[in-house]
Amino acid sequence: MKPALIAILSVLSVAACQRKAEGPPPPPPIGAPPPAPPQPAPTQASFIGRWAATADLCATGAWVFDADRVSTAGEVGCRFGSVSPTPTGYLINASCTAEGPPQPKTFTLTMLGGTPPSMIVAGGPWSAPVTLHLCAG
């Protein structure tokens, strides 16, 4: 064989060896646990945003819900320790400050849907359930 042909064949065989295999991954070895299914991307909690009892209060009386806290237009602020989805919304364990030092509180958010979306906040530092509507923008 000619040296040029040998060099070309060598390069092609090395390239073929380095090419990644196509198709599905091989099955796990016998006795090994099955691979974990891909995890869906986390979604933003549906309670995040500015909420108020009426549209007029959105400018000056909104409650601001973030992923890890809520602050009201009054003197209540809570830092969330855990947020657990429920069939109707969320169960939240938090440390809340309301006219005093922080105290552990548990409350629920019941998502009602609608236009604009609504939710009921019950428990925690609030003496009665409060219905809030999502503020525009």
Mean pLDDT of all residues in 24-50? 66
Q: Higher confidence at residue 131 or residue 1?
A: 131
When pLDDT is averaged across residues 57-77 and rounded to a whole number, the result is: 91
The overall average pLDDT reported for the chain is: 79
Sorted by sequence, the CB contacts under 8 Å of residue 125 that are 6+ apart come out as 76, 78, 96, 98, 103, 105, 107
Distances (CA, A) of 24 to 8, 21, 31, 35: 31, 9, 20, 13
pLDDT > 70? residue 130: yes
Query: Can you give the pLDDT at residue 136?
Result: 87
pLDDT tens sequence across 79-118: 999 999 999 999 999 999 988 899 999 999 999 988 888 9
